[in-house]
Structure 1
Amino acid sequence: MPEGRCNGEQKPERRPGPPPLLDVRDLSKSVPGPRRLFRHLDLTINAGELVAIVGESGVGKSTLLNILAGLDDADGGSVVIDGVELGSLDETARTRVRRERIGFVFQAFHILPYLTLRQNVALPLALVSPDAAAADRRADAMLDAVGLEGRGDGYARDLSGGELQRVAIARALVHRPALILADEPTGNLDPATAARVLALFAEAVRGNGSAGVMVTHSETSAAIADRVLTLGADGLVERRD
């Protein structure tokens, strides 16, 4: 079974079988101060598995997601995504991995205001495929899935925070990435929309055989995950209810 390991625990032996889609080993990160966010962090996630990470504010949950996406560097350790070790890549190659293999739901949305909603959602496809018509059709289908039917020609200025979050989720899932990362994906959504988006998120992970990592403070959101891990100074501890 995939694991989260605390500092000081004996590292479990690897078991035979398909390699995990996400394999994190001995990861450590400090911030100026100096203050250590986490150390000796191990995490493996298999295809079709969704993991929720919870913990107090300031322990490094969002920083961990940024490291997994290759947007930030760890002080030590390794991150392997779908067989590719991020630490071995230059920035151009990392960017290619993000485009092709990672979907990221940012807490701050990062929706481009000068693009239509359809263009925002289709962007990950447009960066890797010349078939613009197919990308637009896929983007419209994803907008439908998150409850924004017929809104593809609109712009971000006309949307509420909850609607922007739905666009961000549609964009993260549109290219069926190997690794899906989400930072508080339902933080700006009403309960009904949150339930719909969580179901879509879980379906994308399990149906596409992706690995999913969701950082959340919401017990409702965490409940959909296959495992819930608590992040603290010494690593990840699996929560068993």
Structure 2
Amino acid sequence: MQDRALLRVTALEKSVPGGRQLFRGLDLTARAGQLIAIVGESGVGKSTLLNILAGLDAPDAGHVAIEDTILDTLDEAALTRLRATRIGFVFQAFHVLPYLTLRQNVALPLALVSNDRRAIADQAQAMLARVGLGTRGDGYARDLSGGELQRVAIARALVHRPALILADEPTGNLDPDTAAKILTLFSDAVREQGVAAIIVTHSAAAAAIADDVLTLTASGLERAR
């Protein structure tokens, strides 16, 4: 169901050591197939917000729920399982492991939850094909361009069919033409799989593909367009 809320954030607050408040009263809902871009000045707390959404950092107040699971009710082991099964990550620096094949890189999220090697390899290969790298599964990262590395990262983020994808400046290391192609691929994949996606970005091009663009300020999130 495309209208199903996969992420709900309620009254979130966070301060940094020394007492400076990054944000307060932050509310956010992301639905299946929805892509939200979060923009804002450097230092306002965008990466901190992503870490809170992933359960890697705790808010001072408020709650984050992925599907029906409230993150602050989970212990560390349960948070780790949630990240492995329900969240996908796409980073500016790709984080594709150079000593693994592309198929093995994409298979990593599946290997955390299954021992069926054949099924894992088949799913990883199918996802590589979806991002245009179906003939490169046995290759290594050293032979890829930046755009191809980001395709691998997107395939890895989507292969286990997460509820939520978190992307931190996913095109920051790419030239404009390659970035445009990657953004189109990412947007199409999010909508096809019915994932909720949050992109933190300084890029106007990345923000342009989003369904909603929100500016992070000390008062929370404000609609930018």
Common fold by TM > 0.5: yes
* Cα contact 1:53–1:213 (8 A) shared by 2: yes
Alpha-carbon distance change, 191 to 134 in structure 1, aligned in 2, over 3 angstroms: farther
Mapped to 2, the partners of 1:134 and 1:169 lie a distance apart of 19
Mapped to 2, the partners of 1:208 and 1:158 lie a distance apart of 29
Task: Indicate the larger mover: 212-221 or 81-90.
Answer: 212-221
**Identity %, equivalent residues:** 71
Q: Secondary structure at the match of 2:5?
A: coil
Do residues 46 (structure 1) and 43 (structure 2) align?
no
User: What residue number does 1:230 align with?
Assistant: 215
* Cα contact 1:176–1:204 (8 A) shared by 2: no
Matches within 5 A, 1:79-228: 79-228=64-213
Q: Secondary structure at the match of 1:97?
A: helix
Structure 1 unmatched ranges of 5 or more: 1-17
**One-letter code aligned to 1:60:** G
* Cα contact 1:22–1:211 (8 A) shared by 2: yes
Mapped to 1, the partners of 2:180 and 2:209 lie a distance apart of 10
C-alpha RMSD of the superposition: 1.9
Mapped to 2, the partners of 1:141 and 1:185 lie a distance apart of 22
**One-letter code aligned to 1:198:** L
* Cα contact 2:150–2:182 (8 A) shared by 1: no
Return the offset for 1:179. Answer: 0.5
Alpha-carbon distance change, 116 to 147 in structure 1, aligned in 2, over 3 angstroms: same
Task: Indicate the larger mover: 58-67 or 131-140.
Answer: 131-140
Return the offset for 1:19. Answer: 5.7
Q: Secondary structure at the match of 1:21?
A: strand
Return the offset for 1:140. Answer: 2.4
User: What residue number does 1:32 align with?
Assistant: 17
Mapped to 2, the partners of 1:108 and 1:193 lie a distance apart of 15
* Cα contact 2:4–2:32 (8 A) shared by 1: no
Return the offset for 1:147. Answer: 3.9
Q: Secondary structure at the match of 2:210?
A: coil
**One-letter code aligned to 2:154:** I
Task: Indicate the larger mover: 127-136 or 22-31.
Answer: 127-136
Do residues 66 (structure 1) and 45 (structure 2) align?
no
* Cα contact 2:92–2:171 (8 A) shared by 1: no
Return the offset for 1:122. Answer: 0.7
**One-letter code aligned to 2:94:** F
After superposition, give the CA deviation of every residue in 1:203-239 in whole Å (9 maximum; x if it has no partner). Answer: 2222222211111111111111110000011110011
